[in-house]
Structure 1
Amino acid sequence: MQPPESHATRDLAADIAASLVDDVSYLVSPPDICVKVFELAESDDASARDIGEVISRDPSLTARLLRLVNSSFYNFARRIDTVSRAVTIVGIRELYSLVLAVSAIKSFSNLSNNLVNIDTFWRHGIYTGLIARILARKCHILHPERLFVAGLLHDVGSLVLYAKLPEQMRDLLLVCDNDEGILHQAELAELGFTHADLGGALAHSWNLPEPLQEAITYHHLPSYSMGSEMETAIVHLADVLANRSELGAFCEQGDAESGRLDESVWEILGLDPDQFDAFEVIGEAGLQFSETAGLLMARA
């Protein structure tokens, strides 16, 4: 439990957080194609052909999406050669999630950062996203690809802090000693807000669905979620498991005992902790990880 703060202190912290988001908005605004696909996905009468035509205006995005839907990320038996066909098979909302993932990595990587290895940062996001998608399927959540996006983007607020408050974050990274949970607490104590708060604000600016905004905001505090408990618990558990993996940890090397799990997630997700095989889930994500990371993180 955090010590009580005055209203003035909380208001000041909120103002600082809002100003940081405003400062980077021109660097991380969603691309026009992303906005257009979102509008079509929300429309009642958009067709697969409509969405395919919009995405096809960007050859690089088209090529990357087709490589993703033909990869182990989906493991379809037959090859998919057009975006409209991908929409038909995968679904409009699911394909929009992939558009978001590809666009977000490119956009948020525009933020300057000299504190952490950006490849390690995105590997952690991708691994968390893959585990979140697996957990969403286990829990019979609709549109599990959206949980991949929430997992992928759960730490994007950190990139804002690294870019805008590098000296303070350098000190906090030393204090946390590669423990993401300790870093979250240290940010709150030092700044009055956290990377999760900033990530939620950025998710709002990208028009992500409210459950994903909440999952990003409370991924360290799932019991604080109100209304999107399932999504938040999934991202929290996925984050902890990713930090225990060799390839997807927040730091350079995973630790099988790392990560402070909020025990409330078991009840929220309806999972039995004694029957849950963490290593199986981590391993399943690992089978998809290298190919998915290579496609999403490709420079061109």
Structure 2
Amino acid sequence: MSIAPIVKFASKSFTLPNTCVRLRSILDDPTSDMNDMAKVMSLDPSLCAKVLKLANSALFRFPSQISSVPKALNIIGGEAAYNISMAETANLAFKSFESSQIQFDAFWQKSILNGMLAKSIAQQKQIRGSERFFVLGILQNLSELVCATRLPDKYSMYQQVSQSTLPLQAQKDVFGFTFAQCSGLILESWQLPDTLSTPLMQLNLNDIVTQGFDANVLYVAQCMLFLKGAAELSKHSAVNQSALQDIGLSDDNYDMIYEFALSESHKIASNLK
């Protein structure tokens, strides 16, 4: 099945909010600073409120309360603020692709948990800018909603197959591509940074051994989500062990990551609604 029509439909059906586009432009302009970002964000009260909520949440775990957007920007940085704006954008994008086969609240909660798992793995590995993985985890299954909307019969088949097969493999078997791969191409069509689109496009199951560290983080997070924990991660026959080896965390690490992500994802999902 061709992936191109799905990408074209998504890119034409949803346009990035102006705030998101302007923030990216400011970040890419060496003559701009945090004051420029604060001015743009001040035009979007909803985004400001969510930036403050998330800056004071377990997503960043700062020891003191952050009470203003300029302070939040100075502490968390421009890229982190942009990633929060992308999480907000994801929420808007998801709502624009409604499907009777998907219960939105459950889908949103699952996406947030996936993002928290990916971010927590990156954080455990002390990857700089680990909040980017939170956004990657959320956006990973953006195209699932698009496929459910455009290809309802295929999606119904996928729902059956994915009950007993790891979702990434079920997606490949039914659609010929993974939702992550398709989502990455959609982000690329929106001209978002390569740091967001490339890891998703790499998660196509063509060659897990060489797909890259960022994509391996997303792969393992997705496996944990399917298994509802980490107990079987290193023993499950369908989980590619080379991805686990590339990340290099222990079973105890993964247990801790899953429990933390599970406990915090409900709060963060509420902050982004």
TM-score for the superposition, normalised by structure 1: 0.81
Separation in structure 2 between the aligned mates of residue 118 and residue 23 of structure 1, nearest angstrom: 20
Query: In the alignment, what sits opposite 1:39?
Result: 25
1:175 aligns with: 161
How far apart in 1 are the matches of 2:209 and 2:136? 14
Q: Check if 1:231 corresponds to 2:209.
A: no
Q: 1:224 Cα deviation (Å)?
A: 4.2
**Amino acid in structure 2 at the alignment position of 1:55:** M
Per-residue deviation, 1:31? 0.6
Quote how far apart the aligned CAs of 1:34 are: 0.3
- Taking the aligned partners of 1:242 and 1:25, their CA distance within structure 2 comes to 27
Match of 1:240 in 2: 223
Task: Give 1:65 shift.
Answer: 1.4
Of residues 255, 266, 269 in structure 2, which corresponds to 1:290? Answer: 266
Q: 2:191 aligns with which of 207, 224, 227?
A: 207
State yes or no: 1:217 paired with 2:193.
no
How far apart are the structure 1 equivalents of 2:56 and 2:168? 36
Which amino acid in 2 is paired with 1:288? Answer: E
Residues 230, 258 of structure 2: 8 Å contact kept: no
Q: CA deviation at 1:67?
A: 1.3
- Residue-by-residue CA offset, 1:177-224 (whole Å, 9 max, x unaligned): 26413422322xxx4434233211112123333243232223363844
Within 2, Cα distance between the matches of 1:272 and 1:140? 12
| Gapped regions of structure 1 (runs ≥ 5) | 1-12, 246-253
Bigger shift: 17-26 or 232-241?
Answer: 17-26
Give the corresponding residue for 1:3.
none
The whole-number CA distance in structure 1 between the counterparts of 2:85 and 2:139 is: 13
Say whether the 8 Å CA contact 2:143–2:182 is kept in structure 1: yes
Matching residue within 254, 262, 268 for 1:278? 254
Change (3 A) 1:222 1:240: farther
CA distance in 1, matches of 2:203, 2:232: 19
List per-residue Cα deviations over 1:138-196 (Å, max 9, x = no partner): 22222111111111111111111001011221123223326413422322xxx443423
1:9-24 mapped onto 2 (5 Å cutoff)? 13=1, 16-24=2-10
CA drift at 1:74 = 2.1
CA distance in 2, matches of 1:287, 1:90: 22
CA distance in 1, matches of 2:11, 2:45: 25
Q: Does 1:268 align with 2:251?
A: no
The letter for the 1-side match of 2:270 is G
Task: Output aligned runs, 1:101-250, within 5 Å.
Answer: 101-177=87-163, 179=165, 180-187=167-174, 191-219=175-203, 221=205, 223-224=207-208, 229-245=212-228
Letter in 1 for 2:262: G
1:117 and 1:94 map into 2 onto residues whose CA distance is 29
Distance 1:67 1:222 in 2: 39
Q: 1:272 deviation in Å?
A: 4.9
Which letter does structure 2 place at the counterpart of 1:263? Q
SS in 1 for 2:191: coil
Q: Classify 1:79/1:127 alpha carbon distance in 2 versus 1 (closer, same or farther; 3 Å).
A: same
2:68 to 69, 82, 94: 82
Alpha-carbon shift at residue 237 of structure 1 (Å): 0.9
Equivalence for 2:85: 99
- The runs of 5 or more residues in structure 2 that have no matched partner are none
Query: What is the CA distance between 1:57 and its match in structure 2?
Result: 0.4
Provide the secondary structure at the position in 2 that maps to 1:109. helix
SS at structure 1 position matched to 2:3: helix
Q: How many residues are matched?
A: 269
Determine the C-alpha separation between the residues in 2 that align with 1:73 and 1:197: 25
TM-score, with length taken from structure 2 = 0.89
Q: Deviations over 1:92-124 (max 9, x none)?
A: 111111110111111222112111222222222
Distance in 2, matches of 1:37 and 1:218, equals: 26
